[in-house]
């Protein structure tokens, strides 16, 4: 029996040693479904997000007033921190075990006694619980609940209403059509494509208000003066059949509108789609 046990143990260890390890593969932890109720659109406010902001501010205030030995202000911020920290287990019960209520109790006790020198240790332990949770979930939570969702947005175009993916595909086709046609000397075709590109970008810009109501600067960043200025230069390049000006200005249109917007919206949107 002992020989069989030793042999079995050896085989298991050998399998562990030779089993291929995929160093580039990583697993992710998805947040509990109960978290969604504290984010828009399920909630009117970004309750969870503001709870996190409050906790960070309160930790900083506690540290400040402990160093200053200011009992009154220390008590104020400690009480607020305790309230928000304890609210986590009510908001997301699945994360109750992640909280260190023992250290919270020690912090409250030290504050109540005015034991300023005893505050640093429990405060550090509580900060560590925050860092641990953030390290495991923050990126995924941001992608799940703060990434843009374009699935329900329709964009008006010359072809009628189109979905966002179809609109992006058409814009990409038009950019490349201008490049190919102008490079091969088909300037009339390139100019026709530019007319449609300008119209479709204008229609796309009207959808910005879906998320950015009252924020004209959001649209200006991607579809503002620099983008339309580059399109004017592109028009001039096509009219004069100047390939150098055409190429430079077409690159400007692609960077100012496509690349800038994608750098802000697309990465999170794609990650959200992968998670969902």
Query: SS in 3 state form for 70-97?
Result: CHHHHHHHHHHHHHHHHHHHHHCHHHHH
Assess contact for 141 and 31: CB atoms under 8 A: yes
pLDDT at 76: 97
pLDDT in tens, the chain (276 residues): 444 444 444 334 434 434 444 556 777 888 999 999 999 889 999 999 999 999 999 999 999 999 999 999 999 999 999 999 999 999 999 999 999 999 999 999 999 999 999 999 999 999 999 999 999 999 899 888 888 778 788 898 777 888 888 999 999 999 999 999 999 999 999 999 999 999 999 988 888 877 888 888 888 888 899 999 999 999 999 999 999 999 999 999 999 999 998 888 887 788 777 777
pLDDT at 16: 40
The dihedral through the CA atoms of 232, 234, 240, 245 has a sign that is: positive
pLDDT at 24: 67
pLDDT at 221: 86
Assess contact for 167 and 58: CB atoms under 8 A: no
The one-character DSSP state at 212 is -
In the chain, DSSP finds a helix count (H) and a strand count (E) of 12, 2
pLDDT at 19: 45
pTM (2 decimals)? 0.71
Angle between helix axes 216-223 and 187-206 (nearest 10 degrees) is: 160
Place of tokens 């399109």: 231
Gap between the terminal Cα atoms of the chain:
50
């Amino acid at each position: 029996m002992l020989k069989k046990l030793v042999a079995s143990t050896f085989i298991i260890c050998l399998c562990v040693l030779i089993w291929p390890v995929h160093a580039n593969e990583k697993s992710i932890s998805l947040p509990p479904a109960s978290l969604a109720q504290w984010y828009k659109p399920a909630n009117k406010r970004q309750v969870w997000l503001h709870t996190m902001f409050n906790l960070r501010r309160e930790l900083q205030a506690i540290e400040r007033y402990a160093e200053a030995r200011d009992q009154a202000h220390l008590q104020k911020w400690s009480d607020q921190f305790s309230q928000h920290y304890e609210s986590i287990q009510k908001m997301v019960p699945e994360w109750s075990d992640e909280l260190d209520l023992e250290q919270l109790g020690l912090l409250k006790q030290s504050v109540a006694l005015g034991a300023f020198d005893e505050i640093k240790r429990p405060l550090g332990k509580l900060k560590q619980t925050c860092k641990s949770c953030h390290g495991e979930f923050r990126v995924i939570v941001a992608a799940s609940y703060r990434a843009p969702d374009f699935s329900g947005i329709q964009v008006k175009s010359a072809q009628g209403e189109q979905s966002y993916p179809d609109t992006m595909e058409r814009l990409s086709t038009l950019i490349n059509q201008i490049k190919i046609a102008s490079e091969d000397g088909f300037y009339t075709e390139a100019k026709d494509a530019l007319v449609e590109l300008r119209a479709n970008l204008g229609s796309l810009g009207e959808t910005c208000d879906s998320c950015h109501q009252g924020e004209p600067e959001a649209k200006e960043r991607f579809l503002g003066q620099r983008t339309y200025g580059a399109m004017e230069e592109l028009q001039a390049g096509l009219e004069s059949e100047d390939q150098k000006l055409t190429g430079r200005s077409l690159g400007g249109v692609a960077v100012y509108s496509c690349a800038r917007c994608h750098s802000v919206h697309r990465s999170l949107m794609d990650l959200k789609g992968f998670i969902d």
